[in-house]
Amino acid sequence: MINSITENIANFLKEYAPFNYLNYDELIQVTNSIGVVNLDKHKVLFQINDKLHDSFYVVASGVINLSVVADSEETLLNKCYPGDVFGLRPFFAKNNYMMTAKAREESLIYAIPIDIFKPFVAKNPQVLDFLLESFATNTRNPYDKENRGKLITDNVYTDNQTTEFQYFQSLTYNKTPLKVSKTYSVKDTAQLMTENLIDSALIIEQNQPVGIITDTDFRTKIANGRFPISTTVDKIMSSPVITVPENVSVAEAQLLLLKYNVSHLCVTADGSDKTDVRGVISEHDLIVAQANNPGVLIKEIKRALSAKELKLVREKLTDLIQTSISKNIPLPHIYTITGEIITAIIKRAVELAILDLGSPPARFAWLSIGSQGRKEQLLLTDQDSILVFEDVAPEKYRDVKDYFLKLGKRTTSVLEKVGYPYCPNGHMASNMLWCKSLSDWIKQYDNWMKTPGENSNNIASIFFDYEIAFGETKIEDTIADVISKNSKSNALFFDYLGNDTLRKNPALNFFKKFNIEEEGNNKGKFDVKNKAIMPLVDGARLFSISLNLRGINNTYSRFKQLALVDPKFSELYLNCADAFLILSKFRTLEGLKNDNSGDYIAIDELTKVEKERLKNALLPMKELEDLIKDKFQLTQFS
């Protein structure tokens, strides 16, 4: 006979993932063994370095804060509300807890024994997938249907890792790679590779990697006669080798292949080339591990010879984005992968333009600005770019600029055919205003930052979000130096930028209703881009420039970093980071559904839960506005 307490707990849990994947009998089996924990305000459930418990936890009532200690300061990572699950580390790891769980207010917690729950995980792929995906991210998972049953990871990642989260996904690779010394001949090495049915060989010294050769090297360096088959492998090897630690994730490995344009990674004891070899990861290993491998799209982009071929890749990318969202892949990961692929498309568009026009007369950099400069362009929104070419002799300036204007027009034309509309404000490298020499760009940024408000129609905050897509990184670095220098003790600039940030119409009216459009084609709809997302984008940029956070352009990453460098307001920054992801997902889903920019959401078509979730994501904005007003003492441009 089922007692009323067990039945009440079961009825509570069945509303939240992953428990909603269990049938009622299974749920009763779980709830029969559940422990109930009462936590007073500020009471700690577990803390950093505590031994793992034999249960994981669900918040029944109250709020639980999860925090870590960084630079001797306790930093709040997330807050858990009723239905949120946390303390998953005992499922997937053996080391001690890596964060602290403390009651923010009097709370009631359900403790679910892992031994009792594991059989249901083993036989239910949906439960397993949910737990793995959730353990893999270091934020609350706001992507579940109706945002229910959010899980909180116990994973904490160090600053030197390439992403802020990882898939908790195993990666099978060759742990007995072929190893040869520098003195081996190409012929002997090729024979060994054939006999072992593998496509690579590591060149080692004292079991440490100094180079690698692959089938590609044989095709490009031996088969074409560049080197004789009798040559030693050190003459054709790629060096240095890109190395990774043994616990590298699918996501990290994938990003490294994209970043360094290589087909193999060498696994070593500590991830450096100064320790023993442990194995080799190939592209094939990643394809097996992850069906939708963006590396395949990158290869197609590099082979593309027309805008039509690039458009086909972009359509595949849209499918990949849609699939990733449906699988609850964390949005920051989707942003990162999509950003790399779009950057490759832009780079190829520039290359195709150069093939038509001939070699450039000077070194240059093509910079994506705006949403792609922040790597937040999931939808086919308009293109924004600038072109910076190195300084040339005065008598050559006109001809050089003419060439780059033609390059800009051809490149933006290709991108328009791919599906990226021209910027309605003309913020493109094809515009003579935004295609000029490095010295001219330095003057431009100096004017914007030293005399804000003068010719203000020409200043757009998106020029401070940039990412190099093609060309000389030193040019991009110079622009960054100029911005950094001009941001020091520049109250006037931040006064201008701060007021510009607050100039947008509020998302909610006095009665806490959505401020919907009252006329035009989007009458009755909510402008989620300009009234919800852009205030967060602008706020993150404002604080990042003021605190000189270089190399961090993504809004979510900016807020996460701000929480570390400005810990007094860490909770607000983390709430803004969460809000940005939730709002961005609303916009992306709207855009994918209607094949448009997703800027306007039909509020009437949302469920009650979706409306509430959208409204809750807007709550940090007032606090962010107040912080901007207070920190920058906005006066002159108010």
| CATH class of the 294-482 domain in this structure | alpha beta
Structure tokens belonging to residue 537: 């984008």
The string of pLDDT tens digits covering residues 102-135 is: 999 999 999 999 889 988 876 777 787 677 555 5
Residue 205 CB-density burial (10 A; 0-12 exposed, 13-18 middle, 19+ buried): exposed
Backbone angles phi, psi at 328, to 5 degrees: 60, 30
Instruction: Determine the Cα–Cα distance for residues 543 and 629; give it in Å rounded to an integer.
Output: 12
Quick one: pLDDT at residue 92?
Answer: 62
203: CB partners within 8 A, 6+ apart: 179, 180, 181, 182, 184, 209, 210, 211, 212, 213, 233, 234, 237, 239
Instruction: Determine the Cα–Cα distance for residues 536 and 547; give it in Å rounded to an integer.
Output: 17
Query: Can you state the percent helix, strand and coil of the chain, rounding each to 5?
Result: 50, 15, 35
DSSP string covering 491-551, please? HHHHHHHHHHHTTSPPSB-TTS-B----SSTTTT-EEHIIIIIHHHHHHHHHHHHHTT-TT
Quick one: pLDDT at residue 389?
Answer: 97
Where in the chain are the domains?
4-147, 179-281, 294-482, 494-632
Q: Is residue 68 within 8 Å of residue 8, measured between CB atoms?
A: no
Q: Report the DSSP beta bridge partners of residue 110.
A: 36, 58
Hey, is 170 helix, strand or coil?
Answer: coil
CA torsion, points 318, 321, 325, 327, in degrees to nearest 10?
110
Q: Is residue 134 within 8 Å of residue 151, measured between CB atoms?
A: yes
Q: How far is CA 188 from CA 62, 177, 192, 193, in A?
A: 68, 16, 6, 9
In this structure, are strands 64-70 and 55-61 parallel, antiparallel, or unpaired?
Answer: unpaired
CA torsion, points 226, 230, 236, 237, in degrees to nearest 10?
160
CA atoms within 13 A on the CB side of 24: 4
The string of pLDDT tens digits covering residues 573-611 is: 999 999 999 999 999 999 988 888 889 999 989 998 899
What CATH topology corresponds to 4-147? Jelly Rolls (2.60.120)
Instruction: Determine the Cα–Cα distance for residues 283 and 447; give it in Å rounded to an integer.
Output: 48
Chain-centre distance for alpha carbon 136:
14
Backbone angles phi, psi at 414, to 5 degrees: -60, -45
Quick one: pLDDT at residue 111?
Answer: 95
CA torsion, points 564, 155, 88, 47, in degrees to nearest 10?
-50
Nearest 5°: the CA angle 458, 464, 470 is 105
Quick one: pLDDT at residue 511?
Answer: 74
Q: Is residue 603 within 8 Å of residue 525, measured between CB atoms?
A: yes
The string of pLDDT tens digits covering residues 151-197 is: 444 433 333 332 333 343 446 688 899 999 999 999 999 999 988 88
Instruction: Determine the Cα–Cα distance for residues 68 and 578; give it in Å rounded to an integer.
Output: 17
The letter for the amino acid at 502 is L
Segments in the chain below pLDDT 50: 71, 136-170, 291-292, 456-457, 638
List, in sequence order, the alpha helices (H) in 149-203. Answer: 186-195
Among candidate residues 573, 624, 596, the one with its CA nearest the CA of residue 139: 573
Q: Is the alpha carbon torsion for 155, 160, 165, 169 positive or negative?
A: negative
- 307-326 vs 331-357: helix crossing angle, rounded to 10: 180
Please provide the CATH number assigned to the domain covering 179-281.
3.10.580.10
Q: Is residue 58 within 8 Å of residue 13, measured between CB atoms?
A: yes
Quick one: pLDDT at residue 196?
Answer: 86
Hey, is 201 helix, strand or coil?
Answer: strand
Among candidate residues 259, 254, 257, 279, the one with its CA nearest the CA of residue 268: 279
Instruction: Determine the Cα–Cα distance for residues 539 and 555; give it in Å rounded to an integer.
Output: 9
Instruction: Determine the Cα–Cα distance for residues 444 and 452; give it in Å rounded to an integer.
Output: 11
Residue appearing with tokens 């860490």: 570
Structure tokens belonging to residue 219: 């095709």
Quick one: pLDDT at residue 292?
Answer: 46
Quick one: pLDDT at residue 251?
Answer: 65
